[in-house]
Amino acid sequence: TYSELIEPTHISCSGTENSEFNSEVELYKSKLHEYSTSKKVMESTSTGGATAKAVEVSYLVSRIIAKKGMPHTLGEEVVLPAIKETQMDLIPLSDNTVQRRIEEMASNVKDQLISQIKASRFFALQLDESTDIANLANLLTYVRYEYNGEIEEDFLFCKPLRTTAEALFDMLNGFITEHGIDWSRCVGITMDGAAAMVGQHSGLVKRVQAVAPQAKSIHCSIHREALAAKRMPPDLKTVLDEAVKTVNFIKARPLNSRLFSVLCDEMGREHRQLLLHTKVRWLSRGKVLARLYELRDEVRLFLLDTKFDLSGRFNDADWLAKLAYLSHIFEHLNGLNRSLQGKSVTLFHTQDKVEAVIKKMGMWARRVEEANYDSFPNLSDFLDSDMHLSGAVQDDVRQHLHLLKTQLRIYFPTPDTTVNWIRNPFATLDDYTLTNLTSREQDSLAELSCDSALKNDFSERYLPAFWLKVATEYPELSDKALKWIVPFPTTYLCESGFSSLVMLKTKYRNRLNIEPDLRLRLSSLEPDIQKLTSAKQHHPSH
């Protein structure tokens, strides 16, 4: 062996021979070192030990990079140098490797999702399109389905497209058919109401309903609420426009912004900056007006030494009264907007929230007619004991409340009472209109409504879980109820997804194939890293 050759015990040589022998010994020593090193690597590879673990860690680090939306070079440029001096320096974390790991994990997550959708009785889609940093239109789609006794919702896909109804449908239909998903199980498609989506003759909805007859078309409730709030009396619209112009004069100019911040600081205000208004943000108007009304005294002082043509507005009592009213009413509409957002929201939830606001609008209008402004704290505080709201301002407020009520009712028609049994199947059946149920289904509902055990369980469970639980005993009722519960009421998840897309696809990564990173970031499913690792041939070069 090498060891025996380099450890002679009884050798006697001349000087020349000894020198030659020493050089041979050094050669054998170097060969022994190479052999020992390669032996360790071969043992590690054959047993799936340290190298297999390194591949697993590579997947874990890549998943974290994708979840955080960080560049793929982070592993090679930051993580790997930090552990280079340890035994873990064999972890593969190059840019290309991280990208490959992310794509493999995303594919694994997608396979899990498709499998779960196929096992569901029904599914619903939520989709929207937006433009990224590379000026490419992207279609973002989410899916809601039944799995393990729960209603799940997850990211389905994100792909670039041309924004025509035909292109939208071809992309959506291509994905559904390619993965063997049954269109007949689709019970809802939710979008933002764009012409390409809801065209009466050739829009996306019509094309989907041609292959999925059960699919209900749903216009995003958040978008409808924003549209309903747009119209207002001319005088109030003027106040809104002038308020935005005032904010822009101060906030959009760096010197004015800094000086105004110093003024607010000297006056001990909690907030030191105004907020800019943008039409593309749902909550913008309420926040802008509320902050402007809060800092109205500081704005008045700041504008005294300027030539701004609207500086006199902050000495006008009627103008400030309208501003006080608008700041509260839009804050209240913001509250409605936020209540419609979130995951696991159903159509019944949005109906309840909107109906409550419509009723309050009518009550508030009657109170305004009686000169009662308690419903509007900002306006009530502004009107001291010696000050009364002028008739013109009172008419504008009352007219706006009636207009809001009317617009909300246009965009949110009276709820369908024939499905009230889904919301509470234990109420007296005489209270319900059951025209949408067959005689057999009505008999099943009568039997269910008298089941005291289920009634106790219903009070403890949220609506989707209850109807999923009774599916075995009352399958027809459960199916009919789920067709109303599964569809998305809003495109909130798509809007949130686009925020992640903007963060991931920057001007420095504008050629990135965004879908794998986006899937790992947005999906609630975890990749099977053990399965992916075991499928690898573990060599350090990988």
| pLDDT of 456 higher than 90 | no
Mean pLDDT, residues 60-84 taken together: 76
pLDDT tens for each residue of 374-394: 899 888 888 875 678 888 999
Give the separation between CA 121 and CA 256, rounded to whole angstroms: 60
How far apart CA 62 and CA 93 sit, in angstroms, is 8
Surface-to-core class of residue 373, CB atoms within 10 Å of its CB (0-12 exposed, 13-18 middle, 19+ buried):
buried
pLDDT digits (tens, 9 = 90+) for 252-281: 889 999 999 999 999 888 888 888 876 655
Tokens 């390194």 correspond to what residue? 54
Q: Cα(first)–Cα(last) distance of the chain, in Å?
A: 32
User: 150 is written with which tokens?
Assistant: 């729960």
Sign (positive/negative) of CA torsion 22, 28, 32, 34?
positive
User: Per mean pLDDT, which of 75-79, 93-97, 499-503 is the most reliable?
Assistant: 499-503
The DSSP code sequence of 181-206 is --GGGEEEEEE---HHHH-TTTSHHH
Supply the DSSP symbol for 412.
S
**What is the chain's percent helix, strand, coil content, to nearest 5?**
60, 10, 30
> CA torsion angle for 435, 436, 440, 444 (degrees, to 10)?
-100
* pTM for this prediction: 0.81
Provide the mean pLDDT of the chain: 83
Q: Report the pLDDT value the prediction gives residue 195, as an integer from 0 to 100.
A: 63
pLDDT at 369 over 60: yes
- The more confidently predicted of residues 261 and 540 is 261
Alpha-carbon gap, residue 482 to 477, rounded angstroms? 9
**What SS3 class is residue 124?**
strand
Most confident of 86-90, 195-199, 298-302, 513-517: 298-302
Q: Which residues are 152's β-sheet partners?
A: 145
**How many residues are listed for the chain in this entry?**
542
Mean pLDDT throughout 171-183? Answer: 94
Residue 157 is inside which H or E element, if any?
strand 150-160
For 16-36, the DSSP string reads HHHHHHHHHHHHHHHHHHHHH
CA-based nearest residue to 349, from 189, 455, 463? 463
Side chain identity, residue 199:
G
Contacts 24+ apart (CB under 8 A), 272-278: 274/247, 274/250, 274/299, 275/247, 275/251, 276/247, 276/248, 276/251, 276/252, 277/244, 277/247, 277/248
Tell me how crowded residue 25 is: count the other CB atoms within 10 A of its CB: 14
Task: Select the more confidently predicted residue: 89 or 77.
Answer: 77
